[in-house]
A and B are shown apart, each in its own frame.
Chain A
Amino acid sequence: MIFSRYKREVSAAIAFVVLLVVVGIAAPTFFSAGNLRDLVINNAPTLLIAIGMTLVILAGQIDISVGSQFAVCSVAAGFLAKTGMPIPILFICVLLTGAAMGALNGALIGWLRLPSIIVTLAMLVMWRDALRWVTEGAWVQNLPENFQWFGLGQTGGEILIVAITLVLFAFFAWSLRNLASARKVYAVGSDAEAARLAGIRSPNVVFWVFVIMGGLVGIAALLNAVRFSAIPGNSGVGLELKAIAAVVVGGAAISGGRATLIGTLIGVALLGTIGTALTFVGINPFWEKAIQGAIILAALVSDVALGRLEKNGKFNLAGAKAA
Chain B
Amino acid sequence: MPEKTLLKASNISKSYSGVHALRDASFTLRSGEVHALVGENGAGKSTLIKIITGAVLQDDGEIVLNGEAITSNSPALSKSLGIAAIYQQPVLFPELTVAENIAIGRERLGAFGVIDWKERRNTAKALLERVGARIDTETIAAELSMPQQQLVEITRALGADAKVLIFDEPTASLSEEDTQNLFKVIRELRADGVGIIYISHRLEELPVIADRVTVLRDGRTIETLEMADVTTEQMIRLMVGRDLSAVFPKRQVERGEVIFELKNFGSRSAGIRGIDLAVRAGEIVGVSGLIGAGRTELAKTIFGLEAPDEGEILIKGRAIHIGHPSEAIEYGIAYLPEDRRKHGVVLDFPISANITLASLKKLSGFAGLNFRFGKEKEIAADYTRRLGVKTPAIFNAVSTLSGGNQQKVALSRWLMTKPSVLILDEPTQGIDVGAKAEIHELMMELAEQGVAILMISSELPEVLGMSDRIAVMSGGTIVKIFDRADATQDKILSVALGHLESAATR
Binding site for B on A (CB under 8 A): 1, 5, 177-181, 183, 186-187, 189-191, 193-200, 253, 257-258, 311
Distance A177 CA – B118 CA, assembled complex (angstroms): 13
**A183 to chain B: which residues have CB within 8 Å?**
96, 100, 104, 115
Cα A1 to Cα B105 in complex, Å, equals: 26
**A258→B110 CA distance, assembly (Å):** 23
Interface centre among A178, A180, A186 (most CB of B within 10 A): A180
Task: Flag whether B348 is at the interface (Cβ < 8 A).
Answer: no
Chain A residues near B96 (CB, 8 Å)?
Answer: 183, 186-187, 190, 257
Q: Which residues of B are at the interface with A, using a C-beta cutoff of 8 A?
A: 75-76, 79, 91-96, 100, 104-105, 107, 109-115, 117, 138, 140
The minimal Cβ–Cβ distance linking B342 to chain A, given in whole angstroms, is 9
Instruction: For the A-B complex with A187-B93, A191-B94 known, give 13 more contacts whose Cβ atoms are closer than 8 Å.
Output: A5-B140, A177-B115, A180-B110, A187-B96, A190-B94, A190-B96, A191-B93, A196-B75, A197-B75, A198-B104, A199-B76, A199-B79, A257-B96
Residue of B nearest to A188 (CB): B93
Closest to B342 in A: A312
The 9 closest A-B pairs by CB, nearest first: A180-B109, A257-B95, A190-B93, A180-B113, A258-B95, A190-B95, A194-B91, A181-B111, A178-B115
15 contacts across the A-B interface (CB closer than 8 A): A5-B140, A180-B107, A180-B110, A181-B112, A183-B104, A183-B115, A186-B95, A187-B96, A190-B96, A193-B91, A194-B91, A197-B91, A199-B76, A257-B95, A311-B94
Closest chain-B Cβ to A323's Cβ sits at a distance in Å of 15
CA distance A94 to B360 in the complex (A): 58
Q: Complex: how many Å from CA A191 to CA B92? A: 8
Residue in B104, B109, B117 whose beta carbon sits within 8 Å of that of A187 in the complex: B104
Contact B113 A181 (CB under 8 A): yes
The answer on a CB contact under 8 Å between A179 and B79 is no
Q: A186-B96, A193-B91, A197-B75 are in contact. Are A179 and B105 (CB under 8 A)?
A: no
CB nearest to B92 among chain A residues: A194
Q: Are B114 and A178 in contact (CB under 8 A)?
A: yes
Known A-B contacts A187-B104, A198-B105; A180 and B115 likewise in contact (beta carbons under 8 Å):
yes
In the complex formed, the residue of B with least CB distance to A187 is B93
The distance in angstroms between the C-alpha atoms of A139 and B79, with both chains bound, is: 58
Chain A neighbourhood of B95, CB < 8 A: 186, 189-190, 253, 257-258
Closest beta carbon of chain A to B41's beta carbon, Å: 24
Residue of A nearest to B111 (CB): A181
User: In the complex, A180→B104 CA distance in Å?
Assistant: 9
Q: Give the CA-CA distance A187 to B104 in the complex, in Å.
A: 9
- In the assembled complex, the CB of B461 is this many whole angstroms from the nearest CB of chain A, namely 33
Nearest residue (CB) in B for A200 is B104
